[in-house]
Amino acid sequence: MIKKPDRIRKFQPKCILTDRQPAFTATGFLVPCCWVDNQWGMKDENIKKFYDPKQHIDKHETVMEIMHGEVFTDFWNMLKNKPENAPKICKKYCGSELSDQVTKKDHYVKPKDESK
């Protein structure tokens, strides 16, 4: 049996510890990173807060206003002080060493024909 890595023990939030930037969603919201902008991430109570209509970019003068607001501040405080409460999607992508290259790869049904 293959043992899965202990992502909670190795949890290192890249949005805090590296230069990973927040992401804008196609629907006009600012989220901690692109990895949380999906259906799985949006099911988490901590991530849902970023999609509240009051958080929409049109409701704010600047990006910094959003980033210094209560939703981002509470989220980062939770990651620093109560990492056990971090969303599962955060633990999935940030449950590795900071130097690990966690990337999204394209997968094809058939291998891409390199000769074309």
User: pLDDT confidence of 19, banded at 50, 70, 90?
Assistant: confident
Q: Report the predicted TM-score, pTM, of the whole model to 2 decimal places.
A: 0.72
Smallest CA-to-CA distance from 33 within 104, 110, 115, 99 is with: 104
Write down the pLDDT at residue 9: 57
E runs forming strands in 15-54: 23-24, 30-31
> What is the structure's pLDDT at 5?
52
User: What does the DSSP 8-state code read for residue 51?
Assistant: G
Instruction: Write out pLDDT tens, residues 48-103.
Output: 999 999 999 999 999 999 999 999 999 999 998 998 899 988 888 887 655 545 44
Let me know: does 33 contact 14? Beta carbons within 8 Å. yes
CA dist 77 to 28, 81, 82, 109, Å?
Answer: 24, 6, 8, 42
Residue range 30-59, pLDDT digits in tens: 999 998 998 888 889 999 999 999 999 999
Mean pLDDT, rounded, for 102-107: 44
Distance between CA atoms of residues 109 and 116, nearest Å: 17
